Amino acid sequence: MVTSKNFWLFAVLSFAGLIGCQDENNEPSLVPETLIESQLIVSKSKEQIISFVEGSSFPISTATIKTGVDVYKITYKSHLNGEVITASGLVLLPQSSEGVGMLSFQHGTIASNEEAPTQTPVGSSTMSFYATMAS
């Protein structure tokens, strides 16, 4: 009888242990393919970027500018407070078929959507600066 008690005690404790080890992550799961859309919003040629740098006060050598840049707005799925949301970002790609380095820039917390990089006017010096950094 002692063996039967020990067996049931072991079985109940094991079952309780397994139940207690559940994953507490209640975040909705996203598949890796969460890109919703990508849209080309502007292309800057190497010459346009050089012209911008020459006319600016940025301490950047035009010799470092190797390519033009394509600027894309992307929308994708993300999480916020346990909810799946649609977010956006800018991706700037050098116009090159050769391997290139990568620069990643993220903004901090913003107070409104108007402050997001995706709201930057296409013809602005800020957008030209982004293109310069990606070239």
Identify which has the larger pLDDT, 65 or 5: 65
Mean pLDDT of the chain: 78
The CATH number for 57's domain is 3.40.50.1820
- Helix, strand, or coil (residue 79): strand
* Interatomic CA distance for residues 130 and 135, integer angstroms: 9
- The helix (run of H) or strand (run of E) holding residue 54 is helix 46-54
* Domains identified in the chain, total number: 1
Identify which has the larger pLDDT, 21 or 68: 68
Q: For residue 79, what are the contacts with CB-CB under 8 A and spacing of at least 6?
A: 27, 28, 30, 85
pTM for the full predicted model: 0.65
Q: Is the pLDDT confidence value at 38 over 80?
A: yes
At 41-81, the pLDDT tens digits run 999 999 999 999 999 888 889 999 999 999 999 988 888 88
In a domain, 79, yes or no: yes
In a domain, 3, yes or no: no
In a domain, 47, yes or no: yes
Q: What pLDDT band is residue 127 in, cutting at 50, 70 and 90? A: confident
In a domain, 112, yes or no: yes
Q: Is the pLDDT confidence value at 133 over 80?
A: no
Vertex 31 angle, CA 27 and 37, to 5°: 110
* Interatomic CA distance for residues 75 and 86, integer angstroms: 7
In a domain, 129, yes or no: yes
Query: What pLDDT does residue 16 have?
Result: 58
In a domain, 68, yes or no: yes
Which residues span the domain enclosing 128? 27-134
* Interatomic CA distance for residues 36 and 30, integer angstroms: 12
- Phi-psi bin for 18: left (phi > 0), alpha (psi -120 to 50), beta? alpha
In a domain, 87, yes or no: yes
